[in-house]
Structure 1
Amino acid sequence: MDSSGTFELTSSFAHLVARVAPESLPAMTDGPQLAPHGTTIVAAAFTGGVVMAGDRRATMGNLIAQRDIEKVFTADEYSVIGIAGVAGIAIELVRLFQVELQHYEKVEGIPLSLDGKANRLGALVRGNLDKAMAGLAVVPMLTGWDIERRQGRIFSYDATGGRYEETGFHAIGSGAAFARGSLKKTHHRDLGEDDAIAAAIRSLYDAADDDSATGGPDLARNIFPVVMSASARGVRQLSSDQVADITTRVLETL
Structure 2
Amino acid sequence: MGMPAGGPGSVFSQIAHSATASFSEYLARTAPELLPGARSAALGGLQAPAAGGPGSAVPQVPHATTIVAMAFAGGVLMAGDRRATMGNVIASRHIEKVFPADQYSVLGIAGTAGLALDVTRLFQVELEHYEKIEGTLLSLEGKANRLGAMIQGNLALALQGLAVVPLFAGYDTDRRAGRLFSYDVTGGRYEELEHHSVGSGAFFARGALKKLWKPNLDEDAAVRVAVEALYDAADDDSATGGPDVVRQLWPVVYTVNAAGVRRIPDRELAAAAETVIASRTVAGREA
TM-score (norm 2): 0.85
SS at match of 1:243: helix
Provide the C-alpha distance between the structure 2 equivalents of 1:166 and 1:98, rounded to a whole number of angstroms: 22
- 2:103 pairs with 1:77: yes
CA-to-aligned-CA distance 1:69-114 (integer Å, 9 cap, x gap): 0000000000000000000000010000000001111111111110
The 1-side partners of 2:64 and 2:214 are apart by 27
Name the SS for the 1:107 alignment partner: helix
| 1:24 is aligned to 2:34 | yes
Q: Name the counterpart of 2:9.
A: none
CA contact (8 A) 1:33 1:61 kept: no
Q: Equivalents in 1 of 2:94, 2:30: separation in Å? A: 35
C-alpha distance in 1 between matches for 2:256 and 2:171:
6
Selected match of 2:224 from 184, 189, 198: 198
Contact 1:153 1:166 in 2 (8 A): yes
CA distance in 1, matches of 2:148, 2:266: 31
State the AA in 1 paired with 2:152.
R
- Quote the RMSD (CA, aligned, Å): 1.5
Letter in 2 for 1:189: P
Is the aligned partner of 1:188 residue 2:214?
A: yes
1:63 aligns with 2:73: no
Whole-angstrom distance in 1 between the partners of 2:130 and 2:152: 19
Percent identity reads 59
The amino acid that maps onto 1:91 is L
Q: Could you say which residue in structure 2 is the equivalent of 1:249?
A: 275
Q: Which moved more, 1:32-41 or 1:116-125?
A: 32-41
Partner of 1:128: 154
Q: Corresponding residue for 1:139? A: 165
- Answering whether residue 185 of structure 2 is matched by residue 159 of structure 1, we say yes
Query: Mind listing any 5+ residue stretches in structure 2 that lack a counterpart?
Result: 1-12, 44-56, 281-287
The answer to whether the aligner puts 1:172 opposite 2:182 as a matched pair is no
**Is the aligned partner of 1:87 residue 2:113?**
yes
Q: Secondary structure at the match of 2:17?
A: coil
Conserved in 2, the CA contact under 8 Å of 1:33 and 1:60? no
Shift of 1:13: 0.2
Task: Supply the distance in 2 between the matched residues of 1:168 and 1:10 (Cα, whole angstroms).
Answer: 35
Q: Report the number of matched residues.
A: 251
Q: How many angstroms does 1:131 deviate by?
A: 0.5
- Aligned partner of 2:254 in structure 1 is 228
Q: Residue 94 of structure 2 aligns to which amino acid in structure 1?
A: D
Give distance in 2, aligned partners of 1:247 and 1:150: 31
* 1:13 paired residue number: 23
How much does 1:33 deviate?
Answer: 3.6
Alpha-carbon distance, 1:8 to partner = 2.3
Give deviations 1:46-81, integer Å, cap 9, x for gaps.
111111000000011111111110000000000000
Asked if 1:214 corresponds to 2:243, the answer is no
Amino acid in structure 2 at the alignment position of 1:85: G
Secondary structure of the structure 2 residue equivalent to 1:34: coil
Larger Rg: 2
Cα distance in 2 for residues equivalent to 1:158 and 1:32: 20
Q: Secondary structure of 1:32's partner? A: coil
The 2-side partners of 1:251 and 1:9 are apart by 54
